[in-house]
Structure 1
């Protein structure tokens, strides 16, 4: 799982029902992977955009996690809708990310969702 968590390229998760999300933040969880969608901090409650995907992580990219598949987001026309979401997220981050919590606060929130099992 460490390899997936160390990937710096944008990642996309696809579910069997066809839904998909860009993974803005991601953390190891005892039951799988916890991830935050872009702009999660603007959702009320934020937990609407924080997801736990349960299952054993398999593969070396693309990865299979439970019934979901995680791939590197193809930004050159392979998934233009999700590439646009990622581009908007990156522009927000480059602008200084006003109102976005710092790394310690994000990690604390992930821990509240069970991701920190030190």
Structure 2
């Protein structure tokens, strides 16, 4: 499944679920969101090998491509409202870089909770 399709589905479906959160599920009237990143092992295909290079700790040709997903989830519903999937290494693929991009889904008054990086 194409990465762009997965990201688009997260955003479209997750935002719709989040928009239907009941007012009593908010914190002092404000929506709360969690942000976190995780590593993903990708299927070993030529396309994935090109887009998501293997970690240098793996022998070349043995192992799986690795991606990083950073997701923004709604605390009230648990729905992922936005996510980015990128190579696990490389310029602008780190969690902080991805977090800055995901800020596009937040509005004034939203509360963002994350862990230490």
Q: TM-score, normalised by structure 1?
A: 0.28
Q: TM-score, normalised by structure 2?
A: 0.29
Which structure's relative contact order is higher, taking Cα pairs within 8 Å and 6+ residues apart? 2
Q: Which has the larger radius of gyration?
A: 2
